[in-house]
Amino acid sequence: MRWQGRRGSTNIEDRRRGGSKRVGGIGGVAGILILLAGWYFGIDTSQFVDLDGSGANVQSSAQITPADERAAQFVSVTLADTEEVWDDVFARQVGRAYTAPTLVLFKGQTQSACGGASAATGPFYCPPEQKAFLDTAFFTTLENRLGAKGDFAAAYVVAHEVAHHVQNELGILGQANQLRARMNEADSNAMSVRIELQADCFSGIWARAAQERFGSLERGDIAEAMNAAAAIGDDTLQRNAGQAVRPHTFTHGTSAQRQRWFARGLESGQLADCDTFSASQL
């Protein structure tokens, strides 16, 4: 992915050194999704998509490595790309303006209105704050422990979390979570899968538009995103964690489903084609 030397976003809150500060400027970071990295660590992180509450912006100081700094710049550029893409998509397909989210960078642990965040929880989006949370060390986990290598795999993670914000902007996330609150656990999990697969599809829309608008994709980038989608499927994560595959516990979808819906968004570029809630087969 071509990202070095490009515009970065100012909608970044950096808590990695304690306190809060905003960063931006030239640099780069791309995005893909992965709330489900928690499965790898035996933690269900789906809670971070729909929990409400309150929390202070507390961040413990941690050592910032050159890899962390590179990740921060990479994320800044990727987030900037999502802002331009979704501005255009909303103008053309929704007929109104898009309000961009803030992305919180942290190292170690921090707090959100959706609860505590740590390296083990993985990236997540918190609807009450309209913020996405990302530990910059996660990209190392993504590559070394989950087997999803490459800049565009990381970009898919960022794009996935931003896609949850897009769902929130469209009113989809709030409606789906209201329904989940009245469901039993199995049905709630099934609804969560549809939420996550739609975010994958929206990530595909972003990837298509990023190539058309910026020419930022390189040979092999789509394969990196598809590999990342496969690496974080519920079935794959459960197997890799030494667990039995239990479909009724799935909250994000299988590897094949995640790849399929990302590909649908990539091929179509249309929000209407990402309606996972009406799909009879995922």
pLDDT for residue 262: 95
pLDDT for residue 150: 66
Percent of the chain at pLDDT above 90? 49
Q: For 45, phi and psi rounded to 5 degrees?
A: -95, 5
Kindly tell me the sign of the dihedral angle through the C-alpha atoms of 86, 44, 191, 259: positive
Could you report the per-residue pLDDT of 190-215, keeping only the tens digit for each?
Answer: 999 999 999 999 999 999 999 998 88
**Residue 180: closest CA among 229, 259, 127, 123:** 127
Most confident of 35-44, 136-145, 244-253, 263-272: 263-272
Q: Which residue has the higher pLDDT, 42 or 109?
A: 109
* CA–CA dist 189, 252 (Å, integer): 8
Could you report the per-residue pLDDT of 5-35, keeping only the tens digit for each?
Answer: 778 899 999 888 764 444 333 222 323 333 3
Q: Which residue has the tokens 């490459």?
A: 150
pLDDT for residue 116: 85
Percent of the chain at pLDDT above 70? 79
DSSP bridge partners of 131: 102, 126
Q: Tell me which amino acid residue 278 is.
A: S
Could you report the per-residue pLDDT of 62-77, keeping only the tens digit for each?
Answer: 677 787 788 888 889 9
pLDDT at 277 over 90: yes
- Band the pLDDT of 142: cuts 50, 70, 90: low
pLDDT for residue 26: 27
Could you report the per-residue pLDDT of 109-123, keeping only the tens digit for each?
Answer: 888 998 888 777 778
pLDDT at 39 over 50: no
Among the ranges given (44-48, 135-139, 264-268), the one the predictor scored with the smallest mean pLDDT: 44-48
- Band the pLDDT of 152: cuts 50, 70, 90: confident
